[in-house]
């Protein structure tokens, strides 16, 4: 079975440019998560969706960051304008969620390594 | 979510059992214990989770103490490919706490 697919794997761009990261969750999963990992801050959640609806975006660092999930099989994380401090590895994860107290494990993609010059 | 404490690093010989401890003394009755690992340059990988009973799957075993204040992840026959950072996470199993809060984890090195 295909896992979570992220693209691109690597992105190098200049400060001020728009960056779009893409994620395809595992088929049948209805929760999607965006994380960011840096040496200084570790792995931190940015935003997550249930059934394509954003539930918690409290981890989004500032208004330059936005995320969308137009359908169950695709999500984007956009940074505009980008800054050098946005350089990090960005991970997407998905899981099944049916409500209640039993939360299913999250499955992660291999990430996008973003470098802003 | 309850805070967890893990040793920053551990070493284990290949073929031996690797036992990774985690303290979660403030865990609540409805909080699960989850373990993930992150191999270099890859995304985190789910290993196992439990509430109060010991659990075992094809990857590992999870031993939770009776008072639930600590747990141990056991890799029964460690291989070089098990070298990774291992994260112990506790969280409530409801929509308000779907998010995972990763600490610094334990960097496990398997030596030949």
The pLDDT tens digits for B11-59 are 999 999 999 999 999 888 888 899 999 999 899 999 999 988 899 999 9
Question: What is the reported pLDDT for B1?
Answer: 61
Question: What is the reported pLDDT for A97?
Answer: 81
Whether chain A has a CB inside 8 Å of the CB on B53: the answer is no
Query: pLDDT truncated to tens, each residue of chain A (117 aa)?
Result: 689 999 999 999 999 999 999 999 999 999 999 999 999 999 999 999 999 999 989 999 889 999 999 999 999 999 999 999 999 999 999 999 877 656 688 999 999 999 999
Contact A101 B30 (CB under 8 A): yes
Question: What is the reported pLDDT for A100?
Answer: 64
Question: What is the reported pLDDT for A115?
Answer: 97
Question: What is the reported pLDDT for A73?
Answer: 95
For tokens 């303290």, name the residue.
Answer: B23
For tokens 């099989």, name the residue.
Answer: A73
- Residue B34 in contact with residue B49, Cβ under 8 Å? yes
User: Smallest CA–CA separation between A56 and chain B, in Å?
Assistant: 9
What dihedral angle (degrees, nearest 10) is formed by the CA atoms of B92, B68, B5, A58?
10
SS3 at position B82: helix
| CA dist., res. A97 & res. B93, Å (int) | 10
- For the cut 90, the answer to whether the pLDDT of residue B94 exceeds it is no
| CA dist., res. B80 & res. A42, Å (int) | 24
Whether chain B has a CB inside 8 Å of the CB on A60: the answer is no
SS3 at position B81: helix
Beta bridge partner(s), residue B73: B20, B62
User: Smallest CA–CA separation between B17 and chain A, in Å?
Assistant: 24
Mutate to test the interface with B, among A34, A35, A43 (most CBs of B within 10 A): A43
Q: What percent of chain B has pLDDT over 90?
A: 75
For tokens 């985690």, name the residue.
Answer: B22
Burial of A10 (0-12, 13-18, 19+ CB in 10 A): exposed
Contact A100 B43 (CB under 8 A): no
Question: What is the reported pLDDT for A1?
Answer: 64
Q: Phi and psi dihedrals of B97, rounded to 5?
A: -130, 40
Mutate to test the interface with A, among B46, B52, B87, B100 (most CBs of A within 10 A): B100
Contact B93 A100 (CB under 8 A): yes
Question: What is the reported pLDDT for B101?
Answer: 83
pLDDT average, residue stretch B67-91: 95
């Amino acid at each position: 079975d295909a896992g979570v697919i992220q693209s691109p794997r690597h992105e190098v761009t200049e400060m001020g440019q728009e960056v779009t990261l893409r994620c395809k969750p595992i088929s049948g999963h209805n929760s999607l998560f965006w994380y960011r990992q840096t040496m200084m801050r570790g792995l931190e959640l940015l935003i997550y969706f249930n059934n394509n609806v954003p539930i918690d975006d409290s981890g989004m660092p500032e208004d330059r960051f936005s995320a969308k999930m137009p359908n169950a099989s695709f999500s984007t994380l956009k940074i505009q304008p980008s800054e050098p401090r946005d350089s990090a590895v960005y991970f997407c994860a998905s899981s099944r969620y049916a409500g209640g107290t039993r939360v299913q494990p999250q499955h992660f993609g291999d990430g996008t390594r973003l470098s802003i010059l | 979510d309850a805070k967890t404490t893990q040793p920053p690093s551990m070493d284990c010989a290949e073929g031996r059992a690797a036992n990774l401890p985690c303290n979660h003394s403030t865990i609540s009755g409805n909080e699960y214990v989850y373990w993930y690992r992150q191999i270099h340059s890859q995304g985190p990988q789910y290993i196992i989770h439990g509430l109060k009973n010991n659990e075992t799957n094809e990857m590992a075993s999870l031993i939770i103490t009776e008072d639930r204040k600590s747990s141990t992840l056991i890799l029964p026959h460690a291989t070089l490919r098990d070298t990774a950072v291992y994260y112990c996470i506790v969280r409530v199993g409801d929509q308000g706490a779907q998010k995972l809060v990763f600490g610094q984890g334990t960097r496990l090195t398997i030596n030949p």
